[in-house]
Amino acid sequence: ADAKSVLLSQVGANEIEGRLGASVLLGPHNGQGWSFIHLIGSAAATARLLGLDAEKTAHAMAVSFYQPTYVLYPGFMGPDSKLLTSATPTMTGMQAALLAQKGFTGALDILENHQGFFNHFAYYPLPMMVSGLGKAWVTDTLAYKIYPGCAYIDTTVDAMFEIMAGHEKQTGEKLDGEKISEIVVEATALTVEMDRLSKVGISFDPLNPVSVNFSIPGNVALALIHGRLTGAELTDENLAARADQVRKLSAKVRLEHNLKMTIEMLEKMSPALKLPELFRSLSIPRLVSARRRLNKQYGRRMGLEWKELKKYWQSEGRNFYPRASRVVRLRLSDWLKAEPGARREWSLADADLENFTMPFSARVSVMLKNGKSFEHRQDIPLAGPGRPWEERKSLVMAKFRREAGPTLGEKNAAKAAEKIAGFEKIRSVKNFMEELCEA
């Protein structure tokens, strides 16, 4: 296939997968736990490359979703089994497309059927998320991870590197972990819950290359020790060599949920996603029910512990009433204006995804034993949606050259990066891949 066909297939997969994940946001999984999206995305992309018509493409996707994958977090957060999260469903999706090519059929109502996907994989399904195809592009919301870990570590690591640079500029010396008394990381519920969830299984170990992907203390320690965070720092050999140092520094890190940051995150995402309009289309009793089921599943009030609520109320309570009253007025207005039995429909087509930002903020405060302290807040991660496009592109290409260099050689990695930058001009992806493998 030529590069344009591959790009079209990839974009199609992005658009389908992103929507499907959002449709079950209020369910037992989130983010990387949505392994099943790779089933339908792979089926759709493969069908496009095979040149299947609309009917066979639909059956390819339906076949792929007959047995959707279901991640269990103890196998995700530490052991090698995590590596199969996207690999296994991707292969199954390809097989589904090949079967559909031969006339194999699937249930075309596999998503919305009462006994189908939505009702089995969400506590409150949001099928309206599977809308706006060709009008709103979820590809615009992609975050490019420049560090080897979960996206929710990124702002913390960005802030840590800023502090290290600021300390060196101010003192002329590199920041020494031995001189640090404590490091406090304040972050959104996404980051805090990621870190908590990473400890669910017996396989958790901050010196495990998989576990450390989700550990805020572990990544802060590695950033301090090495002055960078790349794949090289996460090899078994490097982690073992610095084991005592990593454990000692990790113990100095305290992670706290900043509820104000979580609320600000939703507020900043709102203009692009039209969250007030979405909220007005939802059932409050069903939202409450979904919330209770999530709390029961994880054994805690996800991101809304009483201590955090009290702290937020003390500092921001005066601003809460105007916000809450506005929401109540909107809901009441909708109820009074609506015709009996009428429902307000929200569509992703109305979203402004080109201007979407993902501000999962983090504030890092480093306290030294001599009484001095350094602080930095990072709102949008480097290479995340909301950052300048040229900056994002530059960081991604730099990551490719750095990580591919040991395998391809620096010269060949740089050459490959140039070709990838103009990927749509490549006539044969097969020949391009063969060149890479021979390098």
CATH number at 63 reads 1.10.4100.10
Report residue 102: phi and psi, to 5°. Answer: -90, 5
CA separation (Å) from 346 to 21, 135, 273, 333, 341? 17, 14, 10, 17, 16
Coil, helix or strand for 362? strand
pTM: 0.88
According to the model, what pLDDT value does residue 310 have? 65
Is 305 part of any domain? no
Q: Which of 106, 130, 154 is the last residue of a domain?
A: 130
Cα 1 from Cα 429, distance rounded (Å): 6
According to the model, what pLDDT value does residue 316 have? 67
CA separation (Å) from 172 to 113, 166, 167, 220, 222? 65, 10, 8, 21, 21
Which residues lie below 8 Å from residue 381, measured CB to CB, with a gap of 6+? 143, 151, 154, 155, 158, 358, 360, 387
Amino acid at 99: L
Segment 397-403 long-range contacts (CB within 8 Å, at least 24 positions apart): 397/421, 398/146, 399/146, 402/230, 403/230, 403/231
Report residue 385: phi and psi, to 5°. Answer: -60, 130
CB-based burial of residue 49 (10 Å sphere; 0-12 exposed, 13-18 middle, 19+ buried)? middle
Residue owning tokens 């995150």 = 265
According to the model, what pLDDT value does residue 137 have? 97
Q: Which of 130, 149, 173 is the last residue of a domain?
A: 130
Taking Cα atoms as reference points, which of 164, 158, 53, 42 lies closest to residue 101? 53
Which range of residues forms the domain containing residue 435? 388-439
Is 374 part of any domain? no
- Vertex 346 angle, CA 139 and 59, to 5°: 60
Is 315 part of any domain? no
Cα 59 from Cα 67, distance rounded (Å): 14
Report residue 254: phi and psi, to 5°. Answer: -120, 125
Q: For each of the chain's 439 residues, which pLDDT tens digit applies?
A: 888 999 999 999 999 999 999 999 999 998 889 999 999 999 999 999 999 999 999 999 999 999 999 999 889 988 899 999 999 999 999 999 999 999 999 999 999 999 999 999 999 999 999 999 999 999 999 999 999 999 999 999 999 999 999 999 999 999 999 999 999 999 999 999 999 888 887 777 878 898 899 999 999 999 999 999 999 999 999 999 999 999 999 999 999 999 999 999 999 999 999 998 898 889 999 999 998 998 888 776 665 665 666 666 666 666 656 666 665 665 566 555 656 555 568 899 999 999 999 899 999 999 999 999 999 999 999 999 999 999 999 999 999 999 999 999 999 999 999 988 888 888 888 888 887 777 6
Q: Which of 114, 130, 146 is the last residue of a domain?
A: 130
Is 5 part of any domain? yes
Is 436 part of any domain? yes
| Count of structural domains within the chain | 2
Is 28 part of any domain? yes
Is 269 part of any domain? no
Is 331 part of any domain? no
- Vertex 188 angle, CA 182 and 192, to 5°: 65
